[in-house]
Amino acid sequence: MLTVASLTRPELERRLAGPGLTMRTGPFVSRIRSPLGQLAEGIALMYGDAPLGTPDDFADFHLRLSPPGGLRRWYRPQVCFDLDGLVPFEPLPQAHAFPMFEWALNWAISTRAHAYLMLHAAVVEKRGRAAILPAPPGSGKSTLCAALVNRGWRLLSDELTLFLPEDGRVAPIARPVSLKNRSIDVIRAFAPDAVFTRPVSNTTKGTVAYLKAPGDSVARVRELAQPAWIVFPRYEAGSATVLEPIPRARALFRVAENAFNYSHMGASGFRTLAGVIDRCASFDFRYSKLDEAIAVFDALEPPPP
């Protein structure tokens, strides 16, 4: 199967500016249109391993990122996003085009992919078992996720955990990992061979850079994973590394708070989430040192059947 990396840069830009780039990320196909070089640069760097589709393929999402009309095309140029004609975001500076694409695709999935129970959580896998990391912004979730996938864990997702209602397994997406502010330099030092975008400053989330998903994780996006652990991470400077079990009932309520469509799915959402909680061991996790955190994850025991 051809991938984005099989296209020359001029061909990639022609597709984006013309009929659209049809690209698969996990279970979803997106058709992306944009004349912006900043977006072409980010896609070429971050999505080289992503499978290509054709203009005739069905696309789950039609995303367009383009300059607005009028003076804003030339004076302090901006970028606008629309999804099937819907414009959910305010324009941003054109330098933010690639972060806007990532946020837009997250938004498209989280508001439309109701065939899955969706959590705001990172998820990684080893030996067929997935560790789910639900956490609010600023908790160190993405930093921990980036460290784990650079030490042998498979990346399923940095932002969105997708559960199949029929059996509770996790469907991978394996897109770039979003890092912010100090975390960028932390992971650069931790994984010096990893591929990053250029940092983009002054976004609504501060300075943002993206870490490329490992090629093996992208190649294995059709391999579902069985959830085994739910870990609520929290980075605290100078803290000891502590993993504390929590009761299933408390875990269920906390995970539900991080779900995008738990209420939307009704009884099916409850059954799916309850089944996941029953199969998983749940923990609070506090850390400050990545090497110690990884050692804790590597030592996790599978929950009893």
Domain assignment of residue 303, yes or no: no
Residues 239 and 179 in one domain: yes
pLDDT tens-digit profile of 220-249?
Answer: 999 999 999 999 999 999 999 999 999 999
Rounded Cα distance between 244 and 260, Å, is 26
Domain assignment of residue 62, yes or no: yes
Residues 126 and 101 in one domain: no
Q: Please tell me the total count of domains within the chain.
A: 2
**Residue where a domain terminates, one of 94, 112, 130:** 112
Residues 125 and 96 in one domain: no
Which structural domain, as residue segments, surrounds residue 233? 117-298
Domain assignment of residue 208, yes or no: yes
Residues 168 and 223 in one domain: yes
Domain assignment of residue 305, yes or no: no
Residues 190 and 46 in one domain: no
Mean pLDDT, range 149-162, rounded to an integer? 97
Q: How far apart are the first and last CA of the chain?
A: 38
Residues 262 and 188 in one domain: yes
**Residue where a domain terminates, one of 84, 112, 140:** 112
pLDDT tens-digit profile of 104-116?
Answer: 999 999 999 999 9
pLDDT tens-digit profile of 40-87?
Answer: 999 999 999 999 998 889 999 999 999 987 655 667 889 999 998 888
296, pLDDT greater than 90: yes
Confidence class for position 88, pLDDT limits 50, 70, 90 = confident
- Is the four-CA dihedral 248, 256, 123, 287 of positive or negative sign? negative
Two tokens, residue 281: 């061991």
Domain assignment of residue 292, yes or no: yes
Q: What is the DSSP string of 85-103?
A: TB--S--EEGGGHHHHHHH
Closest CA relative to residue 123, chosen from 61, 169, 187, 180: 169
Q: Which residues pair with 233 in a beta bridge?
A: 285
pLDDT tens-digit profile of 171-213?
Answer: 999 999 999 999 999 999 999 999 999 999 999 899 999 999 9
Q: pTM value?
A: 0.94
Domain assignment of residue 176, yes or no: yes
Residues 174 and 103 in one domain: no
Domain assignment of residue 139, yes or no: yes
Residues 155 and 168 in one domain: yes
What is the structure's pLDDT at 71?
59
pLDDT tens-digit profile of 241-294?
Answer: 999 999 999 999 999 999 999 988 999 999 999 999 999 999 999 999 999 999
Domain assignment of residue 9, yes or no: yes
**Residue where a domain terminates, one of 97, 112, 127:** 112
134, pLDDT greater than 80: yes
Average model confidence (pLDDT) for the chain? 94
What is the structure's pLDDT at 68?
83
What is the structure's pLDDT at 169?
97
What is the structure's pLDDT at 92?
92
What is the structure's pLDDT at 74?
64
Residues 108 and 132 in one domain: no
Residues 134 and 227 in one domain: yes
Residues 86 and 155 in one domain: no
Residues 80 and 166 in one domain: no
24, pLDDT greater than 80: yes
